[in-house]
Amino acid sequence: MTDSRIPADLPDHIQHYIDGSFVDSVDGDTFDVLDPVTNQTYTTAAAGKKADIDLAVAAAKRAFDEGPWPRMLPRERSRVLHRIADIVESRDARLAELESYDSGLPITQALGQARRAAENFRFFADLIVAQADDAFKVPGKQMNYVNRKPIGVAGLITPWNTPFMLESWKLGPALATGNTVVLKPAEFTPLSASLWAGIFEEAGLPQGVFNLVNGLGEDAGDALVKHPDVPLISFTGESRTGQIIFGNAAPFLKGLSMELGGKSPAVVFADADLEAAVDATIFGVFSLNGERCTAGSRIIVERSIYDEFVERYAAQAKRVKVGYPHDPATEVGALVHPEHYDKVMSYVEIGKSEGRLVAGGGRPEGFEEGNFVAPTVFADVSPDARIFQEEIFGPVVAITPFDSDEEALALANNTKYGLAAYIWTNDLKRAHTFAQSVEAGMVWLNSNNVRDLRTPFGGVKASGLGHEGGYRSIDFYTDQQSVHITLASTPHNPTFGKN
């Protein structure tokens, strides 16, 4: 292994960013950050606790109550967000290099995520200027309009998969609408998040508007959720953690937006374009190392094409290139952390007794250390199998046959999750009927996961609470106040106690 894969100028230590300054934890505590290729510590990060969250929230609240950001015209905030997007775009190669090294994500996919992060800011910069709110008039009697206002300090808790992009997905609308923020990034991947402070300073974001506290979820994340001066929590992560956040936020009646786990079905009918379906379902579960919430990790295939599909799918899965994250030819890199690697490998072992292993099943040849898993395919998986029901979050897929449209729908809906679904058929009527019946927040027909930023993003059942994306994000990060004005010369007032 050569040093060429290690980015230049890696920090020796990653700090919090509170009220415009980089600071260590109040108690001086730190945690180790690992390189997923070797699982060796390459830096340390400040480990935030309640005292650090208190300082960050106080700074954010002061910036909201006294600072200029919430009071700026939308166009003024938009200019800052466009500058942020310009800076992110100009540094996409560096961002991708750090993201790939820290998370194990293949460098070409990390580059795409960096560019998507810039687009998220650009999108909300434009949307906040174009935002129009409802007005209702009763001629000669009353005028009613909606006054939209930022809410306050938004608590943003983000995951370790594609961290920089997913941070932008929350930061963009939270800032565009005039809120101030405290970001708690995932402890596995704090490196790229540490770049936000410099980007925001250069773009002209006022002091205190953006604050960042690193730390464990049970320490920093828990304190942020329970803080009485944080009225909003946006969380992306595991469903179990979402349940804990839901309970901890309940006494404060906080606004919650939670995008949680998934076990999304990809349903392939006999009349589908088989080559396109194989290509898309390979990409849908093995891209981003399989560490994606919308992965189509259950493939449900009509029996008349089932054997051919499994044969072609397994052969192509074996050709997926596993490699070092910094190599542009790599399609699957290293999983993020040894804890997660152990979890994924435990499911691979479970799968060997629950299905027929047709590809992968262990470490790829030539990778004796680090968190590398060969793309793994199980066929003939029973619907009650754990690898069919539980989120693995790695390059592992289960394939199951069906005989009728009704059975396909039952299989698709047969999990506690409901984030995404992918349907492959050339029957237009079937496609739309199935899409309306499947229990999923998002459906792709004859398509991979290509999403318009104007559309709502979110899931049903155990996959989430609420939606973000487009105007739904604007709704979440603002209060909508109804204002009613009497126009009539004599107001219509019921009179009590006049005589």
pLDDT digits 0-9 by tens, 343-379: 999 999 999 999 999 999 999 999 999 999 999 999 9
Cβ proximity of 331 and 106 under 8 Å:
yes
Given a cut of 50, whether residue 329 has pLDDT beyond it is yes
pLDDT digits 0-9 by tens, 134-172: 899 999 889 999 999 999 999 999 999 999 999 999 999
Given a cut of 70, whether residue 408 has pLDDT beyond it is yes
Stretch 236-245: mean pLDDT: 95
Return the percent helix, strand and coil in the chain, to nearest 5: 40, 20, 40
Given a cut of 50, whether residue 312 has pLDDT beyond it is yes
Q: 320-333 burial, b for 16+ CB within 10 Å, e for fewer? A: bebbbbbbeebbbb
Stretch 49-54: mean pLDDT: 98
Given a cut of 70, whether residue 465 has pLDDT beyond it is yes
Given a cut of 60, whether residue 418 has pLDDT beyond it is yes
pLDDT digits 0-9 by tens, 35-51: 999 999 999 999 999 99
Among 181, 178, 150, residue whose Cα is nearest residue 167 = 181
- In Å, what is the CA distance from 200 to each residue of 186, 192, 210, 302? 20, 14, 8, 51
Q: Which two tokens stand for residue 355?
A: 């299905």
Given a cut of 60, whether residue 2 has pLDDT beyond it is no
Given a cut of 60, whether residue 204 has pLDDT beyond it is yes
Length of the chain: 499
pTM score = 0.96
Cα 400 from Cα 398, distance rounded (Å): 7
Q: In the prediction, which pLDDT does 140 show?
A: 86
Q: In the prediction, which pLDDT does 440 show?
A: 98
Residue 412: beta bridge partners?
Answer: none
Given a cut of 60, whether residue 132 has pLDDT beyond it is yes
Confidence of residue 492 (pLDDT cuts 50, 70, 90): confident
Compute, in degrees rounded to 10, the torsion defined by CA atoms 322, 324, 328, 330.
10
Q: In the prediction, which pLDDT does 1 show?
A: 45
Q: What is the 3-state secondary structure (H, E, C) of 232-291?
A: EEEEECCHHHHHHHHHHHHHHCCEEEEECCCCCEEEECCCCCHHHHHHHHHHHHHHHHHC
Cβ proximity of 204 and 87 under 8 Å:
no
Stretch 73-87: mean pLDDT: 98
DSSP three-state, residue 401: strand
Q: In the prediction, which pLDDT does 3 show?
A: 65
Percent of the chain with pLDDT over 70: 99
DSSP strand pairing (420-424 vs 442-445): parallel
Cα 380 from Cα 365, distance rounded (Å): 26
DSSP 159-171: -SSSHHHHHHHHH
Q: In the prediction, which pLDDT does 489 show?
A: 81
Cβ proximity of 357 and 351 under 8 Å:
yes
Residue 45: beta bridge partners?
Answer: 14, 31
User: Which of 55-64, 166-175, 268-277, 487-496 comes out lowest in average pLDDT?
Assistant: 487-496
Confidence of residue 288 (pLDDT cuts 50, 70, 90): very high
- DSSP H or E segment with residue 85: helix 74-90
pLDDT digits 0-9 by tens, 167-188: 999 999 999 999 999 999 999 9
Cα 463 from Cα 238, distance rounded (Å): 9
Q: In the prediction, which pLDDT does 337 show?
A: 98
Mean of the per-residue pLDDT values of the chain: 96
Residue 73: beta bridge partners?
Answer: none
Given a cut of 60, whether residue 436 has pLDDT beyond it is yes
Given a cut of 50, whether residue 394 has pLDDT beyond it is yes
Token pair 């997660």 in the structure block, residue: 340
* Residues designated catalytic: 259
